[in-house]
Chain A
Amino acid sequence: MSWSARLGGAALFVAAVAATAALVHFAVVLLVPVVAAHDAYARLAELGPPGTTAALPRAGPGEKRFPWNDPALAASVCRFDLSAGPARVTAPVGRAGFASLSFHTRHGAVFYALTDRAATHGRMEAVIVTPAQLRTLVAHDDEDNPSQDLRIVSPTVEGFVIMRAFSELPSLYAAAADEVQAMACATEPPTP
Chain B
Amino acid sequence: MLAKALAAGAIGLALGVAASGSILADPPFGAVTIGPWRVAAKAGSLEADPYTRAALARSGEIPLALGEGLKMVARVDSAGRPLDRRCLYRVGAHTPASRYWTLSLTDAEGYPVDNAASRYGFRSSEILRDGDGGFSVYVSALAHSGNWLPIGHVQTFALALRLYDTPLAASAGGIEKSSVPTIEREGCA
Contact = CB atoms under 8 A, between A and B. Distances in A.
Q: Is the interface of A mostly helix, strand, loop or mixed?
A: mixed
Nearest to A27: B16
B60 A65 contact: yes
A16 B4 CA distance: 10
A68 B50 contact: no
A149 interface: no
Contacts of A71: 104, 112, 120-121
Nearest to A69: B62
Q: Among the interface residues B17, B24, B67, which one has the most CB atoms of the partner chain A within 10 A?
A: B67
Interface in A8-41: 9, 13, 16-25, 27-30, 32-33, 36, 38-40
A72 B127 CA distance: 13
A59 B60 contact: no
B8 interface: yes
Interface string B49-71: 01101101111111111111001
B99 interface: yes
Interface residues of B, number: 59
A117 interface: yes
A67 B165 contact: no
B189 interface: no
Interface string A130-161: 00000000000000000000000001000000
B12 A16 contact: yes
A61 interface: yes
Contacts of A23: 12, 16
